[in-house]
Amino acid sequence: MLVVVLLVLGLGGIVAQTLLLREMLILFSGNELSLCLVISAWVVSEALGAFIAGVWAERRIVDAKLYTWATLLFSAAFPVTIYATRVFKPLVGIPAEIAVGITTVLYASFSLLLPTGFLHGFLFSLACALYARKEPKAHSPAGKVYFYETLGTIAGGIVVSYLCIPHLHAFQIGFGLCLLNGICCILLLARSHAGKATPTYVLTVALFVILPALALIRGADALHTVSVEKVFAGRNLVYYENSFYQNIAVIKTEDQYTFFTNGLPAVTTPVPDIVSVEEFVHFSLAVLPYPEKILFLGGGAGGAIHEALKYPSVKQIDYVELDPAMLEAIRRFQTPLTQSELTDSRVHPHYLDGRQFIRATDSRYDAVLLSVASPSNLQQNRFFTQESFALVRRILMNGGIFVLTLPGSLAYYSPELKAINESVLRSLRAVFPYQHVVPGDTNIFLASSSAELSKVTPEMIHERLKAAHVTTNLITYAHLVDRFQQRKRDWFFSTLDNVAALSNLDFRPSGVFYEIAYENLMLAPSLKPLFVWAQKVTFPKAVSFVFLLFFVILLLGKRWGRVSLPFAIATTGLAGMAIELTLIFGFQVVYGYVFYEIALLITAFMAGIAAGSIFVAGRLREWRSAYSLFLSTEVSLILFTLVLTAVFSLLDSLVLSRPLTLHFLFLLLLFASGIFIGMEFPLATGLYQSASLERRVGILYAADLTGGCVGGLLTGFLLFPLLGLFSTLLLVAFLKTCSLTFLLLQGKRGIII
Amino acid sequence: MINRRHFLKTICLAPLALKLEAKDLPQQGGFTKEARFYRKLGAPKNGVSCSLCPRECTIPDGELGFCRARKNSKGTLFALGYALPCAVHIDPIEKKPFYHVRPMSSSFSIASAGCNLRCKFCQNWQISQVSPLDTANEQLPPQAVVEAALNSRCESIAHTYTEPTNFYEYMLDVAMLAKKKGILTAYHSNGFINQEPLKQLCNYLDAADIDLKGFSQAFYSKLCEADLKPVLETIKTLKERGVWLEITNLIIPGQNDDPVMIAEMCTWIKTNLGPDVPVHFSRFFPMYKMTNIAPTPVSTIERARDIALKTGLHYAYTGNVPGSPGESTYCPGCKKLIIKRVGYSVLSNEVKNGKCRFCGAGIKGLWST
């Protein structure tokens, strides 16, 4: 029965984390940094809960009743947090239309996630103590609990992602979890009280089983409706759904439909932003004499495809959209504009990741139009890298053109705005010998291998539009003369003089950093110095910092003793998170973003953790020197990190020569990296004999989570984008080397009595 | 006697003081123009009271005003943006938007950083929501502005992009010189300025486009951190002083799109300014901090224009809706199309000597000579 409780503990944690993360992404219209902050808030809350429980429980008897009360609190906190997240903005007086900055994301994440995260971490430490009481002969109760909890996490991740989210809303899932927790606790109490109906038993039945059941039937839908209405207060919400990839909402204002994805407007019909749509399409297609095959990546419905269809020479438009639910929503609320786009026989939608499409297609195109607005997160940034541009060049006809847009200005460029444009422009120049920029409030970049692009004039475009009998609302000859002025181009390029921005690469996605810095300037300008400082971080400086950290820890070790093991666990948590992100991100770069695949990759990592923890937990008593084994695990992790750099350096050739092998290699590497983390935790709890079980589990679990939190934050936001993948892995290897050195210097006296 | 607490406090604050001091020093060649419209509050604190705009900031020594464009340095208030524009461009006059001022002409457009409002939907936030201390600026004295405008064959100099009230002294000096050279001075403003400086400015202004952001105090408080009443006073004063006036109203869904509010605004315009003040109703797109919102439906913009015309205003336009009939000018007499526009482009112009070519009715504006 206790094993079932532990499985449900793991399941509950991943369900809560996944659902709350999705709600927060909608609330914050999240980019990479806000995503990292939200995850960090969860992890820190868990770490705090685990640590506090460790200290609090060591002088108490942890029994089923205590565990039940803690579970009750966790079960109650979860749906309350869902509601609080949705109504956060009206609750604190922020108008729904206003975006929030990083400082708001930070305090909102922590204040909203603290109760649920704290209680889940609290439960973990309690579970270890409970297990130790139930199984006094177990050599590594924490290891066993870690193993079962991880299994529960794997099962929960699969269940919530594949079964729950597509069919149930968050409150239904939340109350379902309450019910499940309730049933487990009742059974746990029944076993411990041998079937006697104590007051606690009866109260638990009422609170955990009857109330959630009633809530599921009567209240969940009402709560969902009320909370969603508060999110879109004052607006006519006609559609609200969660797909695998995102939240989609549709607002109707008079005769206009606006389709929001994760809280941001994406498509407006029947009249889109005419200036943006017409310039994007006609400034590119009218450059070509007879455009026949067009590819739209990442968007197009809602105006752009309609404009492209005006050209009589167009025979085929391939439209790549990752999320079929988006087109389903657009079809549900059709207007003449979208109907003309989506029912035209020349338009072929493809529901897959754009990078995957351009890698796999054998077609060749006259024009490839990238409809992704900017590199605002790692997913979107993949379309703005040098490697992606090289893939696009491969699928262009001779004389074909590639078009993309970036944020711009006709008045002034801040350093942040300059950096985004310079970064992508450098990558573009590395692939396409000819570029033409049309500066504006949105900059339009045209790129080609053909010298014809350098001959573009307003007269040429005007004549081509006339010859093709293409009529527009905006594109007059005077407008073309104004927009294609050499003076404006000269000014644009002069603003980019001496801008020290890194070119945007797959394995050094600097575009994300610059975009986040630009968005931060809008929403939290007081943090600008932090971003300015971050850009000065180089690999030698990062190594020096790690060195400094090592000496500080060394001094702390002399003062307090026994910090080498928590430090090792924290750095392993950090390394594990960095390696996991590296492998998942690398997979996406190669294969594209596919929801099912991502879930499989995360499962492989978690399975590795589970395998490692149970392997050690089951055999700990046999080894004479668990300490030597711990050291060996540290060394193996360092070597593994170095092996990864070699794998990534061979990635391109492996993709071409052994694609299937590479696919399985990713899974294997994730599984292997999970094993190291899974092994170290139970080893550490077994070695760390100086404190009670509750306290040492609390300390080590907190260290593990803290390391993971820091690793996630630094890797996604700072190390990847600015240092690149290889430097990040080398830095991680160096950090683990420092941790190993510290362990060796402190020796056994620093760990075991 | 220095105790440990005092010692630690001094050590901790010293680097911070050094940092402020470094930023406090005027840069070589800039930030040396004393502001107008303020009074010194004297020792010991050396504060100043600025009276340029209705905020009437009391600025302590070493601090910036709310607009971030004025700084008190030892009891003297400096106009930081004087002769240091961060944006210098040549734009079609229609972009400002001025539809009744020298159609198809170029306007030499300048701005220094800063603004005395905090609009959540600002298009030029990169330079309006910062100080001239934070932007990369050109050194362009007033004479150089006028010469550059002449050399570029611009018929006007537009003080625009940010809030020109905050580089008042610069604008005034440029306007004085421009007047001598026969170049029009255009002012695109939020209208949040006190009467006295406004009246002085009117002596040199030829045209003004005022952003009447909404017709309720609630809107101004919620989305701009400002007040409506001073803006209305500014509009009336400009009209009384003979400055050519056009009004822009950016319609934001759910905020200022109420037909009743729009009708009240149009009635106020007709009653206080007359029927010949052009009004531009612009379509809003998500911008700056207002990103979680749908764009304005075109039907809302067209309805606002209808309300304006039914109220009796002669010239009501739609903005950011290319291809809309509302972009063009129609004779209030014979109702014929007299200026056809698409975006910022003028495709035909039937206004001759300020009159409709078809029926001879007077068309108010500052037309080409």
C-alpha–C-alpha distance, residues A695 and B324, integer Å = 71
What distance in Å separates residue A95's CA from the closest CA in chain B? 9
By the 10 Å C-beta count (0-12 exposed, 13-18 middle, 19+ buried), A708 is classed as buried
Dihedral pair phi/psi, residue A29, rounded to 5° = 45, 55
Q: Where are the beta strands (DSSP E) in B112-169?
A: 156-159
CB pairs under 8 A between A and B: 119
Contact A119, A74 (CB under 8 A): yes
User: Which of B286, B293, B347 is the closest to A476 by Cβ?
Assistant: B347
Which residues, in sequence order, are bridge partners of residue B42?
B47
Closest Cα partner for B174 from B210, B206, B199? Answer: B206
- Collect all residues of chain B within an 8 Å Cβ-Cβ radius of residue A258: 294-295
Q: Yes or no: is domain B87-322 CATH 3.20.20.70?
A: yes
pLDDT tens for A63-81 read 778 888 888 889 889 999 9
DSSP string for residues in B232-243:
HHHHHHHHHTT-
- Residue in chain B closest to A101 (alpha carbons) equals B289
Contact B347, B340 (CB under 8 A): yes
User: Which of B323, B344, B346 is the closest to A274 by Cβ?
Assistant: B323
Q: Name the maximum alpha-carbon separation found in chain A.
A: 91
Contact A134, A4 (CB under 8 A): no
User: Which of B254, B288, B299 is the closest to A255 by Cβ?
Assistant: B299
Cis amide leading into A721 (omega within 30): no
Q: Does A360 touch chain B (CB under 8 A)?
A: no
Residues 6+ apart with CB under 8 A from A29: A99, A262, A263, A264, B291, B292
What distance in Å separates residue B322's CA from the closest CA in chain A? 5
Contact A609, A674 (CB under 8 A): yes
Q: Does B322 touch chain A (CB under 8 A)?
A: yes
DSSP H stretches of helix in A592-658? 595-619, 626-649, 651-657
Closest Cα partner for B335 from B303, B361, B305? Answer: B361
Whole-angstrom CA distances from A316 to A282, A292, A343, A392, A465 are 17, 6, 13, 17, 19
pLDDT tens for B45-59 read 999 999 999 999 999
Q: Give me the percent of chain A exceeding a pLDDT of 90.
A: 46
Token pair, residue A623, equals 């080894």
C-alpha–C-alpha distance, residues B75 and B44, integer Å = 10
Residues 6+ apart with CB under 8 A from A653: none
With an 8 Å Cβ cutoff, are B322 and A525 in contact? no
Q: Does A421 touch chain B (CB under 8 A)?
A: no
Contact A678, A656 (CB under 8 A): no
Closest Cα partner for B318 from B284, B355, B352? Answer: B284
What is the 8-class DSSP label of residue A384? Answer: G
Q: Does A474 touch chain B (CB under 8 A)?
A: yes
Q: Does A413 touch chain B (CB under 8 A)?
A: yes
- Residue in chain B closest to A413 (alpha carbons) equals B126
By the 10 Å C-beta count (0-12 exposed, 13-18 middle, 19+ buried), A52 is classed as middle
Token pair, residue A46, equals 């868990």
- Collect all residues of chain B within an 8 Å Cβ-Cβ radius of residue A479: 342-345
What distance in Å separates residue A266's CA from the closest CA in chain B? 9
Contact A444, A284 (CB under 8 A): yes
With an 8 Å Cβ cutoff, are B344 and A412 in contact? no
Cis amide leading into A375 (omega within 30): no
By the 10 Å C-beta count (0-12 exposed, 13-18 middle, 19+ buried), A742 is classed as buried
In which residue ranges of chain A is pLDDT below 70? 30-32, 137-141, 193-197, 201-202, 205, 559-561, 593-599, 618-624, 652, 655-659, 689-694, 748-753
What is the 8-class DSSP label of residue B29? Answer: T
| Cα angle for residues A27, A32, A34 (degrees, 5° grid) | 40
Amino acid identity of residue A264, one-letter, is L
Residues 6+ apart with CB under 8 A from A456: A287, A436, A446, A484
How many residues comprise chain B? 369
Q: Which residue has the tokens 């079962």?
A: A148
Contact B360, B369 (CB under 8 A): no
Whole-angstrom CA distances from B173 to A312, B81, B93, B145 are 56, 13, 21, 10
User: Which of B126, B254, B288 is the closest to A409 by Cβ?
Assistant: B126
- Residue in chain A closest to B252 (alpha carbons) equals A97
With an 8 Å Cβ cutoff, are A478 and B322 in contact? no
In which residue ranges of chain B is pLDDT below 50? 1-29
C-alpha–C-alpha distance, residues B265 and B251, integer Å = 12
Q: Does A283 touch chain B (CB under 8 A)?
A: no
Residues 6+ apart with CB under 8 A from A67: A5, A123, A126, A127, A130, A185, A188
With an 8 Å Cβ cutoff, are B291 and A525 in contact? no
pLDDT of residue A533: 92
With an 8 Å Cβ cutoff, are A255 and B288 in contact? no
Token pair, residue B1, equals 């006697």
With an 8 Å Cβ cutoff, are A417 and B126 in contact? yes
> Which of B293, B327, B344 has the most A C-beta neighbours within 10 Å, making it the best mutation to test the interface with A?
B293
Strand B279-283 with B316-319, pairing? parallel
User: Which of B86, B294, B299 is the closest to A268 by Cβ?
Assistant: B294
Whole-angstrom CA distances from A387 to A178, A372, A507, A716, A723 are 47, 16, 9, 19, 17
Strand A396-407 with A434-438, pairing? unpaired
Number of continuous H segments (helices) and E segments (strands) in chain A: 31, 11
With an 8 Å Cβ cutoff, are A479 and B299 in contact? no
pLDDT of residue A683: 84
- Collect all residues of chain A within an 8 Å Cβ-Cβ radius of residue B19: none
C-alpha–C-alpha distance, residues A287 and A448, integer Å = 11
With an 8 Å Cβ cutoff, are B298 and A256 in contact? yes
Residues 6+ apart with CB under 8 A from A538: A723
DSSP string for residues in B250-302:
EE-TTTS--HHHHHHHHHHHHHHH-TTS-EEEEE---BTTB-SSPPPPHHHHH
- Residue in chain A closest to B300 (alpha carbons) equals A254
Which residues, in sequence order, are bridge partners of residue B318?
B281
Q: Which residue has the tokens 């060049």?
A: A393
- Collect all residues of chain B within an 8 Å Cβ-Cβ radius of residue A414: 126
User: Which of B91, B126, B300 is the closest to A414 by Cβ?
Assistant: B126
With an 8 Å Cβ cutoff, are B254 and A487 in contact? no
- Collect all residues of chain A within an 8 Å Cβ-Cβ radius of residue B129: 525
- Collect all residues of chain A within an 8 Å Cβ-Cβ radius of residue B133: none
Q: Please state the separation of Cα A40 from the chain's center in Å.
A: 12
Closest Cα partner for B133 from B71, B74, B87? Answer: B71
Q: Does B340 touch chain A (CB under 8 A)?
A: no
Contact B84, B111 (CB under 8 A): no
Q: Does A265 touch chain B (CB under 8 A)?
A: yes
pTM comes to 0.91
The ipTM assigned to this model is 0.91
> Which of B292, B299, B340, B341 has the most A C-beta neighbours within 10 Å, making it the best mutation to test the interface with A?
B292
C-alpha–C-alpha distance, residues A161 and A704, integer Å = 25
C-alpha–C-alpha distance, residues A613 and A145, integer Å = 9
Cis amide leading into B44 (omega within 30): yes
- The mean pLDDT value of chain A amounts to 87
DSSP helix/strand/coil, A435: strand
Whole-angstrom CA distances from B294 to A94, A300, B156, B297 are 17, 18, 36, 8
- Collect all residues of chain B within an 8 Å Cβ-Cβ radius of residue A105: none
pLDDT of residue A624: 58
Q: Does A29 touch chain B (CB under 8 A)?
A: yes
C-alpha–C-alpha distance, residues A109 and A42, integer Å = 8
User: Which of B92, B129, B297 is the closest to A255 by Cβ?
Assistant: B297
With an 8 Å Cβ cutoff, are B292 and A263 in contact? yes
Contacts of B351-358 spanning 24+ positions with Cβ under 8 A: B351/B103, B356/B331, B358/B331, B358/B334
Dihedral pair phi/psi, residue B270, rounded to 5° = -65, -45
Contact A82, A220 (CB under 8 A): no
C-alpha–C-alpha distance, residues A653 and A83, integer Å = 49
- Residue in chain B closest to A441 (alpha carbons) equals B123
Token pair, residue B340, equals 């056809």
With an 8 Å Cβ cutoff, are B294 and A265 in contact? yes
- Residue in chain A closest to B253 (alpha carbons) equals A253
pLDDT tens for B120-178 read 999 999 999 999 999 999 999 999 999 999 999 999 999 999 999 999 999 999 999 99
- Residue in chain B closest to A416 (alpha carbons) equals B126
Residues 6+ apart with CB under 8 A from B339: B99, B103, B328, B329, B346, B348, B349, B350, B351
Contact A48, A118 (CB under 8 A): yes
B87-92, strands of its sheet edge to edge:
B87-92, B106-111, B156-159, B184-189, B207-211, B244-251, B279-283, B316-319
Q: Does B290 touch chain A (CB under 8 A)?
A: yes
pLDDT of residue B13: 38
